[in-house]
Amino acid sequence: MKKFYWTLLGVALLQYGTLLAQTDQNIPIRGLCIYIDYPDKPVDVDPVTLDSMFNDMDYQDVGINRSFRRYWYQETRRNYDIQHEVFYYTAPNPSTFYEGLPWYEGIELWRDALEWVIANYPEFDWDELSKWSPTDPFDDERPGYLDGAIRSVVVVSSVFGPSGIGAAHHAGWSLSNGAFVGRIQGSVLQAPWHPTKNLFVLFHESGHALFNLPDTYDYDASSGGTAKYSLMSAQGPDVEPVGAPFVFQHGWGYVKEPEGGTHVYSLPADGDTVVVIKNIHDPVEFFALEVRKNSTPGNSLFPAPVGLLIWHSDLKVHTHNTLEDRTRYAHYKHSIVQMDGLYELENSGSEPPINAGDIYLPGDEFSDKTTPNSRWWSGEPSGIEVKDIVLVGDVIQFTVVIPDVHEEHAELIPKAGWSLVSQTPSQPGYDGTMAFDDDGSTYYHVPWGSSAPRPHELVIDLGADYEISEFYYTANDNYSPPWEGRVKDYELFLSMNGVDWGAPVVAEQFFQTPYRQYALFPKELARYVRFSALNSWLDDVRTSVAEIDFRGKLSDVSATEDGLLVGSSSITFSPNPASHQLKIDGLEQDFSIRMFSPHGVLIDERICTASTVWLDVSDYPPGIWMIRVFDSKNQLLTCDKIIKLD
């Protein structure tokens, strides 16, 4: 058993979305590995060899071209240096005893092995093992759960059969010596279908357990996915890289995030740099670009000497990997954009037909007009182009074109002037104002066990008339089922007067996720919004809304100066509300008066010849109308809302 000495480094993992990450941090992780054999299946690898498989940078063997330590050192771009103390334990029963156990009983053998180490190696210092901290990549669904737990606990088995081998589990064990095991992973060194020993299963499960990487293969092997392009998918002759989306998410290497304009990049194959292009409406949806070559370890199946690989990722997807329809609501979380558009990576059994058609090579292009295209999963064009691909040795140069932010993508409407008009009754302490308080930790919530009929609705007064074309919804961020009423199907209505709503401007569906989601619609003038939740995920009778947001700008009929409505004390409107006649005082010759309907349509305009003007509004329908007064140079002097009564 090798003794390691560790220097604790107070270095935090860079957060998701980092523009330019640090490399070469060499953060040490010291973990624990137990090799379990059985009376009917004795150990088939000696301690020295197993120690080398885990800990020696230069270890190689038939079917194994990188040790555990070297693999993660390279794939994390030299950010993590992971080593393990190795122990051996013989199970008390033959392997056949464990084969029929469910996983939660089968892994009790793993717990017994850990307790055996405690009892038989009293000198072993468990405090030297690395622990999870709040800065590490926790499971998104259970934040804080791993705080203080041993960072890496690996079980290697001499038999594939016993339940739990080839898996990563949330164990949640407090051992007899006080050590906490939050996650634990199991592996074999040779699965029945592998001709030689290899570390694929070990690396794959450690991707789950150590870095919270999801599976990226199609579970029913029916369509695209990522096949043998990623560690988190299928097994090749050697062990694949993790892939550009995970390099980006964890801040390993350098991430370039171009914004509007034309950009030229030169990326070396299997280097430290990836290019990420985000959806401006939805930053958890993005394209990730990387360059690979097939002579690099892990890339022996890469179907070109050097090529550009494009991923399409959407972190909102919160389901198993069987959503292969390539529609807004049925697509993978991570997939390879196959240049030939065949979408065939995982639909041919054990040998997916990966080929050079998957890779972007000189002469290929990627845009809204190509097949496959660069549209977002919602269907709207992204305007993104990847073109002018040139190969220079092991470097690929390419041009990325990203459209400037369109003028409809206005600022988020400030919520200081918003007010709650009505709501489906809420749980005490969870009223509708919490859906627009700019605090994602609070939320509107109908009562637990609600019997309120659907739809559940919120009506909000934005405080002024806005031209709106973008809507955003954020669900609560609770981390256990049923996630307290995360909305599934919904409708959004807009109104100028809070009375006349018309047809919904959006009738869509949300993903079951805490990430903010969006919908686009033709620009419309509105002051009032009605959010209507038709149902919630998992047939939950409840509805909850953490935040509602809109992008828009004050309308032309709600002119502003430094964000405030323009006013003039010398011009007055009375009475307001009005039923028949509206008196306007304080005018001068050649002033103009313009009256706009609740929908922003110019209804009446007149030039003033006296200081007082009477407007007949008796024929106007009831509602909120806008009146504006301009001087002789067509400069706005004042505006106001006039309430027309029946």
Q: Which of 45-59, 347-361, 439-453 has the lowest mean pLDDT?
A: 347-361
Both tokens assigned to 140? 């998104």
123-173: pLDDT as tens digits: 999 999 999 987 776 555 566 778 899 999 999 999 988 877 888 888 999
Architecture of the domain whose range is 561-644: Sandwich (2.60)
What letter represents residue 480's amino acid?
S
Q: Where are the domains of the chain?
A: 27-211, 253-402, 419-554, 561-644
The whole-number pLDDT of residue 483 equals: 72
Whether the per-residue pLDDT at 266 is higher than 60: the answer is yes
Task: Report whether pLDDT(563) > 50.
Answer: no
CB contact at 8 A, 162 and 103: no
Query: Average pLDDT for residues 351-357, to the nearest whole number?
Result: 78
Percent of the chain with pLDDT over 90: 61
Q: What is the pLDDT of residue 242?
A: 95
| pLDDT given at position 408 | 76
> How would DSSP label each residue in 567-623?
--TT-EEESSSBSSEEEEES--TT-EEEEE-TTS-EEEEEE-SSS-EEEE-TTSPSE
Share of the chain above pLDDT 70, in %: 91
Residue 135: its pLDDT value, please? Answer: 74
pLDDT averaged over the chain? 88
Q: Which long-range contacts (CB under 8 A, 24 or more apart) does 67-71 make?
A: 67/199, 68/199, 68/202, 68/203, 68/206, 71/199, 71/203, 71/239
**Region 459-471 average pLDDT:** 93
Q: What is the pLDDT of residue 482?
A: 63
Average pLDDT of span 388-402: 96
Residue-wise pLDDT tens digits, 523-544 = 999 999 999 999 999 899 999 9
| 9-38 pLDDT per residue, tens | 222 222 233 334 557 888 999 999 999 999
Structure-token match 């509206």, residue found: 582
pTM over 0.85: no
Compute the residue count for the chain. 646
Q: What is the pLDDT of residue 350?
A: 53
Taking only the tens place, the pLDDT of each residue in 72-81 is 999 999 999 9
Of 208, 184, 143, the residue nearest 480 (C-alpha): 143
| Predicted pLDDT at 556 | 62
Q: What whole-number distance in Å separates Cα of residue 449 and Cα of residue 255?
A: 46
* Amino acid at the residue 590: D
CATH number of 419-554: 2.60.120.260
pLDDT exceeds cutoff 90 at 344? no
What's the confidence (pLDDT) of residue 558?
53
